[in-house]
Amino acid sequence: MSDTTNIEVEYEAVEEAIMQNPRGRWFLGEFARRNRATDTGRVLEAIDRLYSAALGVRGDVQLELFTRDLEDMHDAITETRRDLAAIKPREGLTTRIHTPEHDLDAVAAAAERATADIVSAVESLQDICEKLRAQEADADLCDEIETHARGIFMASAFQDMTGQRIARLVAAVNYLDHRVKAMLAMAQGETPAEAS
């Protein structure tokens, strides 16, 4: 017989002898209860350690995911900036927009200038129409010119609204870009000023 078998046989014999009287049964029950409490305490401590470790890892993972999301947002903002900056007037109309680093402001300014240019052109057409009427030109032709001038003027109102929307979009993109850069800097342990 091996040592393990001998120990088991002896243990069972001692347990049987102690279980013969009530005091022995009480002792074994109390001994088991105390050991369970100790084991339970150890298991709970181990669970607490695992939970704390998991929270630390989870926090790191969450920060990494948050940082990755911020980087994705920054990339989307950069792409939107590029797309908006790529909006150029048609060839031959004007060469006012250049491609500096912050082209978005130039796009918004060009939309505002376009509205002013349209209004100015309409006013010139109306002035020409008045001169033609003063020279007793064809009244139907003058009426048609004025009708088209009013149509152009109404279209310029839409152009003006579009320019205002572009300006607001530019301001929103600039604000979001600034905030995302600041949050990225903080997530990477820098101060927002260092990221600029």
User: Tens of pLDDT along 148-180?
Assistant: 888 888 888 887 787 788 778 878 888 888 888
| Whether 176 contacts 145, CB under 8 Å | no
The helix, strand and coil proportions of the chain, stated in percent and rounded to the nearest 5, come to 85, 0, 15
pTM: 0.48
* Residue type for position 22: P
pLDDT in tens, 116-147: 888 898 899 889 989 998 999 898 988 998 99
3-state SS class at 135 = coil
Task: List pLDDT tens digits, range 33-92.
Answer: 777 777 777 777 777 777 777 666 666 777 788 888 888 888 888 887 777 777 665 544
Is 15 strand, coil or helix?
helix
Residue 148 half-sphere exposure, CB side, CA atoms within 13 Å? 10
Distance CA 159, CA 117 (A): 11
77 near 184, Cβ under 8 Å?
no
- The domain segmentation of the chain, as residue ranges, is 3-195
